[in-house]
Structure 1
Amino acid sequence: MTELTMPLSFTRPPLSANDRTHWRPRARIIQRVRHEAATRARAMRWGPYKHITVHLHYRPRDRRIRDASNIMPTQKALIDGLRDAHVIPDDDGRYVTETIPTIHPVDGKPAMWLTITPGDPK
């Protein structure tokens, strides 16, 4: 199966399960994340696919311990952006398999990227 990679402009997750942000600024952040995913997916000519497996990657700037599941809200907004770009028909389990994000060891500059694998779930 082919794995497609989308580099992201974020150097740290813009959304976290630990955030206690008011709904209005949080909605703006979600909109920005969705827009980036949709714009990049269109530019990369992704889709349409019947099913994808999604995996978010994060390489932090320091060696602090992080919980990978805390960045799931960022992954959710990215998947919504893929749906906005018509990469998938919808963002439910029939069309998307989500994996827990991977936090990579510190190695160079901080970065985030999204990978998708088109095709039926295993």
Structure 2
Amino acid sequence: MTGHAILELPWTAPPLSMNDRGRTPGARYAHARRVAEVRGTVHRLAQAAQLPRGLDHVTVQLHYRPRDRRRRDTDNLTATAKPAYDALAAGTKAHMAKPEPIIHPAERGQGGVLWLEITWEAK
């Protein structure tokens, strides 16, 4: 059995970035809260989508279409992707492939959008 799902994320820009440099205790706590928010949100969206459990292999890829044409780097999406992937992997023994995130071209008049594409295989 194979399947496919798209989880539309509620953020218009990545809530976390590799460029965040929190050196103070307050900044570290704020970062930890954002990580927990991403994990919790993705977990709830996966439950609402009724994604199957007990899968053999899952591929998850983060997609981002920014609101403008400024230069962006897929490396910075890793900070948002990691807790999202962790939320999907929680409680499963499936192997998970995580291809590099994709940044799509901005579309005039459209806001930013993030989503996860998930494909799976089960025997």
Q: Structure 2: which 5+ residue stretches go unaligned?
A: none
Q: Is the CA contact 2:89–2:96 (under 8 Å) kept in the aligned structure 1?
A: no
Report the 3-state secondary structure (helix = DSSP H, G, I; strand = E; otherwise coil) of the residue aligned with 2:3: coil
Aligned length: 114
What is the CA distance between 1:82 and its match in structure 2? Answer: 1.2
* Paired-residue identity, %: 37
Q: Does 1:96 align with 2:101?
A: no
Give the gaps of 5 or more residues in structure 1.
none
Query: Following TM superposition, by how much is the alpha carbon of 1:51 offset from its aligned partner in structure 2, in angstroms?
Result: 1.7
Task: Name the CA distance, whole Å, in 2 between partners of 1:9 and 1:112.
Answer: 7
Equivalents in 2 of 1:80, 1:54: separation in Å?
Answer: 11
SS in 1 for 2:15: coil
Q: Which has the higher strand share?
A: 2
Match of 1:119 in 2: 121
Instruction: Answer with 1 or 2: which has the greater Rg.
Output: 2
1:22-52: CA deviations, max 9, x gaps? 3211110000000001001011101212221
Per the normalisation by structure 1, the TM-score is 0.86
1:67 aligns with 2:69: no
Distance 1:100 1:23 in 2: 26
How big is the alpha-carbon RMSD for the aligned residues of Structure 1 and Structure 2?
Answer: 1.6
